[in-house]
Structure 1
Amino acid sequence: MKVFLFLLLVFIFVGLEFDVVQSGTMVTGAVFCDQCKDGQVSMFDYPLSGMKVSMVCSGSDGKMTTVGKDTTNMFGNYGITFDGTPDLSTCFAQISPNSNVDPSNKCGAIPGSPKSVKLMFSMFDMAMYTVDPLISQPAQPMSSCSTPSSPPTSPSPVTLPPPTSSNPPPMGPIVPVTPSAPPKAPAPAFQLPPMIPLPPAPFLRSSACSYDYWMKAEYKCYWRAVKPETSVAEVFGPLAAQKYGSDITLYASLQGKGDPYKTLLRESVTALLNSWNSMRFPYFAPQVLHHFNKALMSDSTSSVLQTALKFRRVNTGSPCKFETCKS
């Protein structure tokens, strides 16, 4: 309930204060490694990065259409966005076949069942949907898992249809689907990691800081969710690793100049850091990752520059509220 109220406040502030965020819809979720192969998220399971997730919707003719895709970040999260507020009540999310891009990941052998999207809320011409955790399983369960009385049945992988349209489903009113007397699922046995401490004062205020602020030693305490030495590939995913290499760090990327792709990375990293430090920043972290990867996939220098400029505007659109960090 606390998480819901927090997200609700975020959207209220953004809807009231910023013209940058127009009407739109976001679907968020996470992918976990089901090490015990018991079909649920337990204390032994961990989030999977680099997993490709597809969103599929059923049309009025009954045909299934892939309407969106994303790749999980270093925290196992993904976010798929749409313009406007389409009706997503017939849609579900599914781990894409052959999505395991990391050969060292032993947990990509068996993708789990698809999960339906659930409407959290809709207001200010914005909507947010969530998806229950998707799971992927190894070929064999972890040895330390308790042995069930009967062998667990591995979920059958679902083959997604090829993309037939890049457009979201037809516009329509968003009405949450309330099934009749649904059985209550047991609460997951795993415990969430402790919350990251809130950053200093700017978190609750409108604040946006350009890349040069993030490079200064006196503001190092604002690096909370990630560290300067964290690699770009860990945060932005496999496309970034392919384009920029697997060794470049977030701090080094802030020094990128003189090239459209370096500028895109610099401003994207800056926007991501700002999104984690001010709840009133125009973009949420999944949106930054989505627009960044979308620009990389476009193979268009014009699209790359437009996205970099978009982030540059919001990174300098409000005064930077940083205060010198205490030693």
Structure 2
Amino acid sequence: MKIEKDILRNLNKGPRTYEGLKRDFPRVDVAQLLIEMEEQHLVVNKGGAWFITEGGKKTITEGKKKVGRKKQIAKKVAYSLLVVPVIFFFLQSASFNEEYTDALNHNAQLLQEKTETEQQLSSVNMEKEGVEAEYVKKMDELKGEQDATAQLNTPLEEAQHVVNSLKNELNRYQCLETCTPDKFVTVDNEYVKAKVDEICAGLTSLREKQEAVYKFVRDEIKDDESTFCFGRLDMWEYPEDILKRGKGHWEDKFLLLLTMLRIAGTPPEHAKFIAAEVDGNDNWLWVEAYDGATWWVLDPFEGYEFTSNPKEQFYEEHEVIILWWFNDTEFRRG
């Protein structure tokens, strides 16, 4: 139908002869086409020339309309193809804008919460500073109270020290009246220890030290029977007092000797203060000491030496009954 429409368009421009149409359409059977088109009342031959009929013109117009419709449909399809992405874009944009708006709102909410939190933190910090200032103030007040208390306590402590000293002194004198004699062997007395260290300076063996303190008590501590006794007749004294006074009764010299022997290094089981009945006389006192080889009966008085009386010989020559004995660790009778 395309070639027929082309012939109709040619005739629509003006009548043509058969020869003219044949020249314009050399590759088709123009004569046969014209006969068919004439039968369809599309063309008509008048005086040897071919004219287009009203029916032919309508055929051309309908073709144009169809082409126009197709173009319109194509345009609509093209518009549709363009509109769908645009609509999708707008829908996506709307969704994005909604999400973006939500994000902005959430961000604003977070900023608001941050501001409120910072304000709360600032308030807490201010309260903290106030509490710390109050704490420092209270601590200063406490320190002031402690200083005042310390000032008040100083006289109290001094008075307590005086009271304690008086108590110790009272206990000391009460002990003179009530304590057993072993309590007077004060081997921890610093004054007596210093004197023993002085006496034994340069000496190495126990025997040398024992003999040195024996000679000191014998020669340097005077026997003084005139010293007045307070309280009980057999009153004991502390070795420190005897040493400071430089004299004492005969029991005082024995007590001092026992204490100094112990401080010089004699074990407690090797040094004893003895009270005994000898040959029927119960008024005997002495100190027994063991030097590592021999036991000795010691009398720290003029006319005696450390080795004057070996214990074994003394007990063989005399009838000895032990009444009581003591050292710094124990006191026994018999």
Category of TM-score, reference length = shorter chain: under 0.3
Given the two structures, how large is their TM-score scaled by the length of structure 2? 0.22
Could you state the TM-score of these two structures normalised by the residue count of structure 1? 0.22
Relative to its length, the structure with more strand (as a share) is: 1
Choose between structure 1 and 2 for higher RCO, CA contacts under 8 A separated by at least 6 residues.
1
- More helix, by proportion: 2
